[in-house]
Amino acid sequence: MQFKIKVAYNSGYDHTKERATSIESYQPWYRKDVTWMEHPAGSDPNEVVYIQDGEAGLISYAGSFGKSRDWYAEASFVLKLDVGLHHLSALALYNQKQNLLS
């Protein structure tokens, strides 16, 4: 006959920081396909123009904090019997886990 108990306790802390920046990019267009801006008089409609997308140096910051705590308990009961040529065993197990913080 054997009886065992196991208990565990865990806790954690998390701090995440995120930093990002941006750069401008340029998309090539034919002047004839750019309908949202005015064209100078006498400009070639097949000329390639570059349209800026985005801005340089926009910086963003983000951060988050997290914490966790949980416990775990386990109890087991083992019974072993020898009856003649036969070996018998039985196991009863109980376990439980609980998250205290998430």
| In the predicted structure, residue 61 carries a pLDDT above the cut 70 | yes
Question: Assign residue 32 a region: left if phi > 0, alpha if psi is -120 to 50, beta otherwise?
Answer: alpha
| In the predicted structure, residue 46 carries a pLDDT above the cut 80 | yes
**What's the CA gap between 82 and 29, in Å, rounded?**
88
Confidence band for 102, pLDDT divided at 50, 70 and 90 = low
Written as one string, the DSSP assignment of 36-84 is SS---TT--TT-EEEEEES-TT-EEEEEEEEEEEEEEEEEEEEEEEEET
> pTM (2 decimals)?
0.45
The tokens of 59 are what? 């910086």
| In the predicted structure, residue 6 carries a pLDDT above the cut 90 | yes
- Three-state DSSP at 31 gives helix
Confidence band for 56, pLDDT divided at 50, 70 and 90 = confident
| In the predicted structure, residue 55 carries a pLDDT above the cut 80 | yes
